[in-house]
Amino acid sequence: MENGQKQSHINWFPGHMTKALREMEQNIKLVDLVIYVLDARAPYSCVNPKFTQVIKNKPILYVLNKADLADDNQTQKWQNFFQTKNSLCVILNSTHTNSTKIIQEKIKILLKDKLQKYNNKGVVMPSRAMVIGVPNCGKSTLINNLCGKYKATTGNKPGVTKGTQWVKVFGNIELLDTPGTLWPSFENQELAKNLAYIGSIKDEVLDISELALDFIEKMKKEYPLLFEQRYSIKFTNQTPVEVLEEVCKNRKFVIKGGETDWERGSFAILDDFRKGRLGKITLDKKENINKSSIN
């Protein structure tokens, strides 16, 4: 839906993502491992099925990023979920200075055999990793933290990184930054909504009011107290429409003629969630997902 037309069925796969997947497939043979960045608020929704074809049997370091915004209990469960025989998982807030030191340690563990092999031969070889993830998951911020410099382009919106770029970081490690990439079709619209909530899908292609109503319904079921505390309201038997109306009324979001400004209210609610003003929230509940579903 690159033309920007709004519709109820969420889908967004601009042309540069097709190119990005193709370049990943070409470059995967150049790297020793994959750093898979996931938004800790929706880690399962951030698992791109197209990446599975790209990664193949490479070791994976999963990064549960933006963990400061997510439900701590759920984040611990997801860390255990993503750690397998060929993968490790770290919990991170990459905006904090020096928070990425743990990445260095885990890379050395995953590449221990290769590093030992070259060390025995007295050869110094660079280790290369490809950094992948959906849009707006914090890949470029993570890379800049690892570098200690602003080498990768960042932005709090999807689609900032448009092409691959090699970046040298600590020691003898080189990272290949890649554009945030989704997949051509969302069969599961609940996952698509989660990606939309966290800002991985361009707001311009979404019906924001409809999205906010869905988000209110989700909060009513899963985090009612956080939502009620933020907006000084009570869910009781109110519908999402009535809740949105009340939020708009309390915030004095009105347009000419005294009508409720739904769009402004909808953006405000989603922005409050994305900026962590609602509290620590995880949209994907680990207990609802089977281990086999990411293979």
**Domain harbouring 89, CATH code:** 3.40.50.300
Q: Is residue 43 part of a domain?
A: yes
Q: Is residue 6 part of a domain?
A: no
Task: Collect the ranges in the chain with pLDDT lower than 50.
Answer: 1-7, 152-162, 292, 295
Q: Is residue 197 part of a domain?
A: no
Question: Within this chain, do residues 180 and 227 fall inside the same structural domain, yes or no?
Answer: no
Question: Within this chain, do residues 19 and 164 fall inside the same structural domain, yes or no?
Answer: yes
At how many degrees (to 10) do helices 101-110 and 139-147 cross? 90
Q: What is the pLDDT of residue 55?
A: 94
Q: Of the residues 131, 152, 185, which one is the last residue of a structural domain?
A: 185
Q: What is the pLDDT of residue 125?
A: 74
Which CATH number fits the domain that encloses residue 244? 1.10.1580.10
Q: Of the residues 121, 150, 185, which one is the last residue of a structural domain?
A: 185
- If one counts the domains in the chain, the total is 2
- Which residues form the domain of 100? 15-185
Question: Within this chain, do residues 146 and 231 fall inside the same structural domain, yes or no?
Answer: no
Q: What is the pLDDT of residue 158?
A: 42
Q: What is the pLDDT of residue 284?
A: 97
Give, in degrees to the nearest 5, the angle at Cα 295 between 183 and 55.
60
Question: Within this chain, do residues 48 and 180 fall inside the same structural domain, yes or no?
Answer: yes
Question: Within this chain, do residues 126 and 28 fall inside the same structural domain, yes or no?
Answer: yes
- What is the side-by-side strand order in the sheet with 87-91? 87-91, 60-65, 33-39, 127-132, 173-177, 165-168
Question: Within this chain, do residues 147 and 219 fall inside the same structural domain, yes or no?
Answer: no
Question: Within this chain, do residues 156 and 54 fall inside the same structural domain, yes or no?
Answer: yes
Is 220 exposed, middle or buried, given 0-12, 13-18 or 19+ CB atoms closer than 10 A?
middle
Q: Is residue 292 part of a domain?
A: no
Q: Is residue 229 part of a domain?
A: yes
Q: Of the residues 185, 215, 243, which one is the last residue of a structural domain?
A: 185
Question: Within this chain, do residues 23 and 145 fall inside the same structural domain, yes or no?
Answer: yes
Question: Within this chain, do residues 90 and 166 fall inside the same structural domain, yes or no?
Answer: yes
Q: What is the pLDDT of residue 291?
A: 53
Q: Is residue 4 part of a domain?
A: no
Q: Alpha-carbon distance 149 to 152, whole Å? A: 9
Q: What is the pLDDT of residue 292?
A: 45
Q: Is residue 289 part of a domain?
A: no
Question: Within this chain, do residues 224 and 170 fall inside the same structural domain, yes or no?
Answer: no
Q: Is residue 295 part of a domain?
A: no
Question: Within this chain, do residues 150 and 261 fall inside the same structural domain, yes or no?
Answer: no
Q: Alpha-carbon distance 38 to 180, whole Å? A: 11
Question: Within this chain, do residues 174 and 248 fall inside the same structural domain, yes or no?
Answer: no
Q: What is the pLDDT of residue 270?
A: 98
Q: Alpha-carbon distance 21 to 17, whole Å? A: 6
Q: What is the pLDDT of residue 1?
A: 38
